[in-house]
Amino acid sequence: MYTEVDVFVSNFTLIDPEIYQLWVEGCSSSEAVSTLHQRSITQNTGATVELIASDVLDHYRYAIISMTNLLIPLGLIPAPYGF
């Protein structure tokens, strides 16, 4: 049995300012999804709640990785982890 998986790869990142603001305000990912759902994002875009949740999690992961790299740049970490 085969499982179909959709993958999207790109070289640039688009950040939704509304989702980023929810992250900055300290909302959990589930709180952010609930807030976006209350703002009728699902109705305006035609996206399902599951798709919105996936997008929010992607944004949150990117924000965490970005902040970690800003706080502790890899070049400053001793080998074998740094450059």
Indicate whether 5 belongs to any domain: no
**CA 24, CA 8: separation in Å to the nearest integer?**
26
Q: Is the pLDDT of residue 72 over 90?
A: no
Number of domains present in the structure of the chain: 1
Indicate whether 66 belongs to any domain: yes
Q: Is the pLDDT of residue 70 over 80?
A: no
Indicate whether 51 belongs to any domain: yes
pTM listed for this prediction: 0.67
Mean pLDDT of 61-76: 74
Q: Exposed, middle or buried, 22 (CB in 10 Å: 0-12/13-18/19+)?
A: buried
| 47-65 per-position pLDDT tens digit | 899 999 999 999 998 888 8
Determine the structural domain holding residue 37 and report its residue range.
Answer: 25-72
Q: Is the pLDDT of residue 10 over 70?
A: no
